[in-house]
Amino acid sequence: MVRPVLKKCVLCVSEIPVSAMKCTHCSSYQDWRSNLDFGNSTLSLLIAFLSVLGIAVPPVVSAVKSLLYAPRPEFVASAVAITPEKATISVANTGDASGVLNGMICSIYAPKPGVGIKNSSSKLGWDFPKGSEVLPLKTYIYEAPPQIIPPGTQVLATMTFAFNGRSDATDPKVTVPANTEAKSTCVAFHQTREGETLGMNVSLSPLLLLKFRQ
């Protein structure tokens, strides 16, 4: 029996890894914290209020601060080179704790034969092809040897194609309107020292999609 690798987010219903504690699309927690109806700003106000009473309740203030401001890794990543067999990404840890990079999932709309990638004034410098210009969606799953990335560092991480039930699977049911950009996406995953799996969007240049055209 093949174990599922994806699940639905409890809030936005997007597909995320089964081990993810936080949604990569809407940033909502997948555990008991998803039932809380207040955000960080409310908790910050609570901390400020408790700080006024700090002389009387310092343990409470310390506990709330620990909950809200626990050291965490924060990764920023961009694809340097990517093919169906291997991917290299640049990863910078801008957080205040180490994290362990362990893999990536990419949803790729490869341009059809004869379709080029056009220049644009966008941040990436190139336009993604339109829905009428791409091949059916394919999902690629890559795995990486566990690599610890300390805070304040930037590394190049190379991952290799990993075969399982969803890898390189064509999905004809997923389509993009003919005149709409078919944006390919990659999400890399890393673990905190507490074992929580987090996702990060990987910046992907449309030029790299030419490697997936077959």
Question: pLDDT by residue (tens digit) across 178-198?
Answer: 899 999 999 988 887 777 788
Per-residue pLDDT band for 23 (boundaries 50, 70, 90) equals: confident
Confidence band for 45, pLDDT divided at 50, 70 and 90: low
Do residue 145 and residue 206 come from a single domain?
Answer: yes
Position 172 confidence tier, pLDDT thresholds 50, 70, 90? low
Please calculate the CA angle 180-185-190 and round it to the nearest 5 degrees.
Answer: 160
Inform me whether the pLDDT recorded for 164 exceeds 50: no
**Are residues 78 and 180 both part of a single domain?**
yes
Q: Which domain holds residue 61?
A: 38-68
106 part of a folded domain: yes
Regarding whether 191 and 158 lie in a shared domain, the answer is yes
Are the beta carbons of 204 and 125 closer than 8 angstroms?
no
Q: What is the CATH number of the domain that holds 146?
A: 2.60.40
Q: Is residue 95 domain-shared with residue 161, that is, in the same domain?
A: yes
78 and 145 in a single domain? The answer is: yes
Kindly state whether residue 191 falls inside one of the protein's structural domains: yes
Please indicate, yes or no, whether residues 200 and 108 belong to a single structural domain of this protein: yes
Q: Is 106 in the same domain as 49?
A: no
Task: Name the domain boundary from 22, 46, 68.
Answer: 68
Asked whether residue 42 carries a pLDDT value surpassing 80, the answer given is no
Angle (nearest 5°) at CA 174 between 112 and 27: 115
Same domain? For 60 and 101 the reply is no
Statement: residue 150 has pLDDT above 60: yes
- The number of distinct structural domains making up the chain is 2
Same domain, 50 and 152: no
Considering the domain architecture, whether residues 48 and 81 belong to the same structural domain is answered as no
Q: Are residues 46 and 83 in the same domain?
A: no
Provide the 3-class DSSP secondary structure of residue 162: coil
Residues 62 and 125 in one domain: no
Percent of the chain with pLDDT over 70: 70
In terms of DSSP bridges, do strands 99-108 and 15-17 run parallel, antiparallel, or are they unpaired? Answer: unpaired
Going by pLDDT thresholds of 50, 70 and 90, the confidence category of residue 92 is very high
